[in-house]
Amino acid sequence: MTDRHVLILGAAGRLGRELTTAFARAGWHARAQLRGEAPPEWRGLHLVSPLRADALDTAALGQAAAGCSVVVNALNAPYHRWDQAALPLARSAQAAARQAGALLMLPGNVYNFGRELPARLAPGTPEVGDTPKARLRIRMEGEMADDTGLDSLALRAGDFFGGAGRGSWFDLAIVSRLAAGKLVYPGDATLPHAWAYLPDLAATFVALAEQRGRLKGHQRLHFAGNGVSGEQLRQALSEASGRELKLAGMPWGLLKLAAPFVPSWRAVLEMRYLWLRAHSLDGAALAAQIGPEPHTPLVPALRQSLVALGLPVAHPTADRLTA
C-alpha cells in the first residue's frame, strides 16, 4: 500500500498516544488530533503531525482527513458523559472518514454483549442492549455498519493496561495499593477477565491498517489479549513487582453510598457486572486476517506497565531498556 497517511482522533488519550507512536514507528504519517500540547513521547517522531482541533468540528476534521487512507476514532468522553457525548463524537469521526474515502477504525469493548455476556465472545456473539452503555455501543457500531458510503472496522478488546497515562481499571483500582502489598480486585478472582496490553493493541491496529485495500464494508474483529483470572493476575503482578501481593476487595459499598453525589462513581457501578461474569475474547477471526496477534507475555507486559506508572518492579533497569 502506498498511501500511508492516518488521522488519529483523540490522539492525546491513553490509546491514542500508543496508536500515534505505533503508526509513526511503522512508517505511517500520523496526523494526531488533540486539543492541548503534544505528549513528550512524540518528540523525535518526525512522522507525527499534531493537529489542534475540536473533535466536534466536522469541517476541520474533514480537512484533516483529506489524503488519509485510515481514520482511527480513539475519542472517548468521560465515563459519566457517554450519554451526551459518545454518539456526536462517533458521528463526527464517521463524517470525516466518509469524506476522505478512508477506512474508519474504532476500538470496541465488551459492553455490547450485555449483563449476561457469555464466557467466550466471538465477533458473531449476539449483542444485547440491556444496559445504557451497551445500547450506546450497539447503536454507534450499527450506524457505522449501516453507512453504505463508508468502510469501517470495530476491533473489540478488553480492559486496557500499559502505555502512558492513567484512567483505567488497572491503575485506578488494580495497582492503586501496590505500595501496601495489595492488589485491589473488583470482583470474583476465580473468573477470567479480558485485558488488552495497549502496545500490542496499537500494533494490531497498524497491522489491520496495512490491509486497508482488503477491508471493505463493515468488519468486526476481536483482540484476544489476556484472558486471566484475578488470582492469575495476582501471581503475575507479584512476579512483575518483585513482591508477594495479597488480594483486596473493591469498596463497592462506599461507591454505592457516594454514587448519588459523584456521577463518575455512579457510571462505574453500572459496570460492576463485568467483574462478576467470566469472559474472554475469541481472536480466531483476527488471526485469520493478520496472522498471529501481537502478544507480549503477561509478566513483561505488566512489568513495563508498572514502570510507565512509576511503580516499583522486580528488574527496573532491564525493563526500561526494553520498553
pTM here is 0.94
Residue type, 245: L
Q: Could you tell me the three cell numbers for 115?
A: 449483563
DSSP result, 61-104:
HHHHHTT-SEEEE-----GGGHHHHHHHHHHHHHHHHHHHTPEE
Beta strands across the sheet bearing 151-156:
48-52, 29-34, 5-9, 70-73, 103-108, 151-156, 218-222
Predicted local distance difference test score (pLDDT) of residue 79: 67
Q: Could you tell me the three cell numbers for 96?
A: 470525516
Predicted local distance difference test score (pLDDT) of residue 84: 86
pLDDT tens, per residue, the chain with 323 residues: 448 999 999 999 999 999 999 999 999 999 999 988 888 888 888 999 999 999 999 999 999 999 999 999 999 877 667 788 899 999 999 999 999 999 999 999 999 999 999 999 999 999 999 999 999 999 999 999 999 999 999 999 999 999 877 788 999 899 999 999 999 999 999 999 999 999 999 999 999 999 999 999 999 999 999 999 999 999 999 999 999 999 999 888 888 887 787 777 787 888 899 999 999 999 999 999 999 999 999 999 999 999 999 998 986 444 443 44
Query: What residues form DSSP beta bridges with 282?
Result: none
Q: What is the pLDDT of residues 154-166, one digit of tens each?
A: 999 999 999 877 7
User: Which residue ranges form the domains of the chain, and what is each CATH number?
Assistant: 5-163+197-225+279-295 (3.40.50.720)
Q: Could you tell me the three cell numbers for 79?
A: 465515563
Predicted local distance difference test score (pLDDT) of residue 217: 96
Q: How far apart are CA 94 and CA 72, in angstroms?
A: 10
**Nearest residue to 122 (alpha-carbon basis) of 277, 261, 286:** 286
Predicted local distance difference test score (pLDDT) of residue 268: 81
**Nearest residue to 17 (alpha-carbon basis) of 48, 44, 46, 55:** 48
pLDDT above 70 covers what percent of the chain? 96
Q: How far apart are CA 190 and CA 261, in angstroms?
A: 32
Predicted local distance difference test score (pLDDT) of residue 292: 97
Predicted local distance difference test score (pLDDT) of residue 117: 95
DSSP result, 133-167:
HHHHHHHHHHHHHH-TT-EEEEEE--EEE-SS---
Predicted local distance difference test score (pLDDT) of residue 167: 81
Sign of the CA dihedral with 111 first, then 114, 116, and 121 last: negative
Q: How far apart are CA 307 and CA 323, in angstroms?
A: 9
